[in-house]
Amino acid sequence: MGLLCSRHKRGNQANTEENVQAAEIERRIEQETKAEKHIQKLLLLGAGESGKSTIFKQIKLLFQTGFDERELQSYTSVIHANVYQTIKILHDGAKELALSEEGASKYGLSADNKEIGEKLSEIGGRLDYPWLTEDLVEDILKIWKDPAIQETYGRGNELQVPDCADYFMENLHRLSLPNYIPTKEDVLHARVRTTGVVEIQFSPVGENKKSGEVYRLFDVGGQRNERRKWIHLFEGVTAVIFCAAISEYDQTLFEDENRNRMMETKELFEWVLKQKCFQKTSFMLFLNKFDIFEKKVSKVPLNVCEWFKDYQPVSTGKQQVEHAYEFVKKKFEELYYQNVTCEHQDRVFKIYRTTALDQKLVKKTFKLVDETLTRRNLFEAGLL
Amino acid sequence: MISIDTHLAVQSTSNDGRIDFNRIQRNQRRNITVDGGEVRRPVSESGVDWRRAEVRGVALVKKDGDRLMSRLKKKKTEEAASRLMSRLKKKKTEEAASRGGCPSDYVALSVSIISFVFLFLRSTLPFIIHKVPRPKGSSFWLPTVQIIASFNLLLSLAMSLNIVRFHRRHWWQSCYLWGVWVNGPLGFGLLLSSRLIQVTHLYFVFVKRRLFPIRSYISLPLALLPWVAWAALLEIKQPINNHCHMGTQWAVPHMSLPVFYIAALVVITGAIHHIEFKFDELKDLWRAILFSAFSFSVWVVAYVLNETHEEIKWLQVTTRFMLLVVASCLVVAFFSISFSQPLVSVMSLNKKESFKMKTMGEALGIHDSGLLSHNDPALDVHPNDPLHKLLLNKRFRLSFMEFADSCLAGESLHFYDEVQQLEKIPVNDPVKRVYMARHIIDKYINTGANMEVNISHRTRQEILTTLDLAHPDLFKNAVNELLQLINMNLAKDYWSSMFFVKFKEAAMRNVDHEVNNGWNYSPRLSSVHCPDDPFYQDHMSN
């Protein structure tokens, strides 16, 4: 606000009416700066596609007015874009895999689907996506159900297939209805890379700012080039919510296909822990995407990731999932305590298992986070 | 005996040079031989007058003879003493001539110090005055390496030529360290190798139109390998004598190595001289080659003269002086940043002009790439128009860019802007296209660049390994990806931001109330104060 208002002021010095307006704005700034001292700053950090923006959307849904119809409608183009992009990635991936000798039979599209595939791939490369019509939906489903594409999807970890692919393909008919308005769930599944910094201010109790804490939550981009910008946010942070997608142990980065995502998360977490500004900051580690992790762990062993290479699988079924999860959690705990020095003794560190798409879970998790931070505040104020 | 004689003579001549007859007599009585003859006992005084006369006569003759002898002896000692003095003086000057400490040496040393300081200032001042962010990667390291090499070269010359007098007691003053290692692989060799790498980069970029595939932290050591190998060979074989000279059979290969490198420089410069460079690169190159060749020939001449005329002392002094002064001129003339930082090389050091920091578009003379002018049309925009069409309008683009800068997402817009400028360059002007493309890659595409954009790995690799830097569709995929990103991520927030309102106001139309309802709720920006971020600076100068 300050930046805006000073610009406004500079431009309108001649006009007395606007001087009055400027004075009013100045008063508001003063009020807000006073209020700002009581605002707690939360940062959502993490590697690319770890779920930060989904948590951000969830907080918006839970503690603010949520999404109004206009905003929901604005997500339609995003969802359609996701559909086209997914098909393009799968089609191009299948083409590439079919270039090798063994791949030709496995990943080669059937004759009629080839043309459709090329057409869809061309659409996916445009800037303006066409509206999803019934015809296009038929074509897309044909391609999606082609065995070559399904095989490629099985190797989706080598490509940059978004996690929402499954969900949107299942609901494709609904998405193409003429008066389609995205549901909350659709909006949460929609995948958009965040660039720059987004923030919201909320209070977990209600709109009444006097009771309960007031939080200002910042969402950032996770790709490497976006991380340069994080440093501008590091002052005066109450808590860092670090999102780590535990289902990504067999995937590579969007911005560097030679690097494993889990290894990148590990290094990033270490880097964040070592920052001087975060000596007194509480750390909430969200081990995210548990739903995908559950399904993946029985098919792909954890050992494919270098960090987890000493994992010994045990039994099958639910026990296996729990065991694998406990292993991952322990790894992160070890990592945290390796990077803790005597200056960090008072720092709070908590790990939460989350699935950012699940609203109830996020609400529960955030309540726990809120409790921890409140307790911490009282502790620092000397009341505990 | 002679010594005693002289002693006697000295003694006898102590009384004003007159021969003391009595003393001689006394000495005679003391049995000291005078002329190697026998001692004659003095006859009694009574009846031997004629004898005394005889003795007296003999003594007189003897007296004259003695006087003559002593005079001769005096002359001899004087001559000997003066010869000794002159020999001592000669030795001192000889030492001075060979070990340094002459006034001309100090003059040369001060010239070299001044030239290095000047070089350092010339290379760092533009960055400090214009507050240009430090470049990354090889465009920073190659010039830095050149400055270090220049320093090493001057230091090694000062030490190995004994400009300042030192007793060679410590290992770190040895001739091998300075004359072989610091002078070769770390000095002159490093200078030539780094310039060779830069010229090779230029050749690849402008003639072959692709980026140099080998990273500079691999290519520079590779280029330096022959120097290191030769220095190691010298270290093993130890052919250098105490005066830091080596025999002819070693000197010839020692001199052929710089010749080879200078020849390589000339060859590659010849391969690119047909290109119309815009930032004086060719002029700088020829200047560097000329100075290197000149200083190398001065060195060879000095070496040959020193070997053949070792005894002429003024020659040694002169050659020392010449070598150091020529080396100082070389390091100043050799340096240029036009290869790695063409924009900085055209910046004036005048502080008053510091705000006129040029963009590459301006420097290349691309039409309409600077600030807004009155002629730019205002646009009637609606949020439902496709964004990529709206962005073609300059006013809208600048307003959107300001908004993106305020929420730290500006690099995508700046990239888009510069690609638009690139597309204005006609296809039949490949040199300008290559300049602009290289500038864009350095600024936006390289990993770790200041304003790196958010594109996928595949797109980035396609650009970095392209086979044609002047290709019109080089950045098409990247622009597409970023426009999609902007569309899905930033556009919504822009319509509900203050910047859009200002844009509307500036277009002198009534503020659209429907849009205005949500203007004071923008999820972007506010408490992100960052006065020294690159976007803020860039947009200030834009």
Model confidence over A256-304: pLDDT tens digits?
999 999 999 999 999 999 888 888 889 999 999 999 999 888 888 888 8
Active site residue A219: yes
Range in A36-45, A225-234, A260-269, B475-484 with the lowest mean pLDDT: A36-45
Q: Per-residue confidence at A114, pLDDT binned at 50, 70, 90?
A: confident
State both tokens at A300.
């792909």
* Amino acid type, B499: F
| A191: nearest CA partner in chain B | B488
Return the DSSP state at A299: T
* Residues in Cβ contact with B321 at an 8 Å cutoff, skipping those fewer than 6 apart: B104, B105, B107, B108
Instruction: Give the per-residue pLDDT at A152.
Output: 87
B491: left (phi over 0), alpha (psi -120 to 50) or beta: alpha
Give the end-to-end CA distance of chain A in Å, rounded to a whole number: 36
Instruction: Give the per-residue pLDDT at A351.
Output: 93
Among B136, B400, B408, B483, most A C-beta atoms within 10 A, so best to mutate, is: B408
Instruction: Give the per-residue pLDDT at B6.
Output: 39
- For chain A, give the mean pLDDT: 84
Rounded distance between C-alpha atoms, residue B310 and residue B298, angstroms: 17
Is B465 an interface residue toward A (CB < 8 Å)?
Answer: no
Q: Do A200 and B411 touch (CB under 8 A)?
A: no
Q: CA torsion angle for B374, B376, B377, B381 (degrees, to 10)?
A: -120
Of A125, A193, A233, which has the smallest distance from its Cβ to B528's Cβ? Answer: A233
Q: Per-residue confidence at B7, pLDDT binned at 50, 70, 90?
A: very low
Highest mean pLDDT among A15-29, A154-168, B491-505: A154-168
Over 90: is that where the pLDDT of A131 sits?
A: no
Cβ neighbours of A379 (radius 10 Å): 12
Instruction: Give the per-residue pLDDT at B355.
Output: 52
Total CB pairs under 8 A between chain A and B: 93
Instruction: Give the per-residue pLDDT at B182.
Output: 83
Q: What are phi and psi of B350, to 5 degrees?
A: -75, 125
Rounded distance between C-alpha atoms, residue B290 and residue A179, angstroms: 76
Q: Per-residue confidence at B138, pLDDT binned at 50, 70, 90?
A: confident
**β-bridge mates for residue A252, sequence order:** A260
Is B454 an interface residue toward A (CB < 8 Å)?
Answer: yes
HEC string for B366-431: CCCCCCCCCCCCCCCCCCCCCHHHHCCCHHHHHHHHHHHHHCCCCHHHHHHHHHHHHHHCCCCCHH
Instruction: Give the per-residue pLDDT at A242.
Output: 94
The residue with tokens 């990273």 is B215
Is B530 an interface residue toward A (CB < 8 Å)?
Answer: yes
Active site residue A223: yes
State both tokens at B326.
């020529």
Range in A52-56, A292-296, B9-13, B525-529 with the lowest mean pLDDT: B9-13
Over 50: is that where the pLDDT of B215 sits?
A: yes
HEC string for B280-305: CHHHHHHHHHHHHHHHHHHHHHHHHH
Is B517 an interface residue toward A (CB < 8 Å)?
Answer: no
Rounded to a whole number of angstroms, the distance from the CA of A322 to the nearest CA of chain B is 34
Rounded to a whole number of angstroms, the distance from the CA of B369 to the nearest CA of chain A is 25
Instruction: Give the per-residue pLDDT at A248.
Output: 92
Residues B288-297 as b or e (16 or more Cβ within 10 Å = b): bbebbbebbe
Mean pLDDT in residue range A37-65: 88
**β-bridge mates for residue A40, sequence order:** A215
Of B406, B380, B412, B389, nearest in space to B503 by CA: B380
Q: Per-residue confidence at A46, pLDDT binned at 50, 70, 90?
A: very high
Q: Do A160 and B456 touch (CB under 8 A)?
A: yes
Q: Per-residue confidence at B527, pLDDT binned at 50, 70, 90?
A: very low
Rounded distance between C-alpha atoms, residue B179 and residue B502, angstroms: 67
* Amino acid type, B413: L
Rounded distance between C-alpha atoms, residue B141 and residue B440, angstroms: 19
Mean pLDDT in residue range B492-515: 70
Active site residue A191: yes
Rounded distance between C-alpha atoms, residue B452 and residue A224, angstroms: 9
Packed helices B189-202 and B248-272: angle between N→C axes, nearest 10 degrees? 20
Residues of A within 8 A of B409 (CB-CB) are 195-197
pTM (2 decimals)?
0.78
Over 50: is that where the pLDDT of B532 sits?
A: no
pLDDT digits (tens, 9 = 90+) for A4-15: 333 334 444 556
Mean pLDDT in residue range A116-140: 86
Q: Among the options A40, A223, A275, A372, which is catalytic?
A: A223
Is B399 an interface residue toward A (CB < 8 Å)?
Answer: no
Of A90, A219, A256, A164, nearest in space to B454 by CA: A256
Over 50: is that where the pLDDT of B172 sits?
A: yes
Active site residue A228: no
Q: How far is CA B499 from CA A195, B401, B523, in A?
A: 18, 10, 13
Among B136, B488, B498, most A C-beta atoms within 10 A, so best to mutate, is: B488
Q: Among the options A54, A76, A152, A265, which is catalytic?
A: A54
Cβ neighbours of A35 (radius 10 Å): 12
Instruction: Give the per-residue pLDDT at B4.
Output: 38
State both tokens at A314.
């045990």
User: In which element (H, E) is residue B79 found?
Assistant: helix B49-99
Q: How far is CA B526 from CA A17, A233, B341, B406, B440, in A?
A: 25, 12, 35, 8, 30
Rounded to a whole number of angstroms, the distance from the CA of B240 to the nearest CA of chain A is 51
Active site residue A135: no
Over 70: is that where the pLDDT of B53 sits?
A: no
State both tokens at B231.
């220095």
Q: Do A127 and B386 touch (CB under 8 A)?
A: yes
Residues of A within 8 A of B447 (CB-CB) are 224
Rounded to a whole number of angstroms, the distance from the CA of B452 to the nearest CA of chain A is 6
Range in B26-40, B153-167, B341-355 with the lowest mean pLDDT: B26-40
Instruction: Give the per-residue pLDDT at B166.
Output: 57
Looking at beta carbons, which pairs linking A126-134 to residues 24 or more positions away fall under 8 Å?
A: A127/B386, A127/B388, A127/B480, A127/B483, A127/B484, A127/B487, A128/B386, A128/B388, A129/A77, A129/A80, A129/A81, A129/A84, A131/A80, A132/A80, A132/A83, A132/A172, A132/A175, A132/A176, A133/A176, A134/A176
Q: What are phi and psi of B333, to 5 degrees?
A: -75, -20
pLDDT digits (tens, 9 = 90+) for A152-209: 888 888 888 988 888 998 888 888 888 888 988 899 999 989 999 999 988 876 444 4
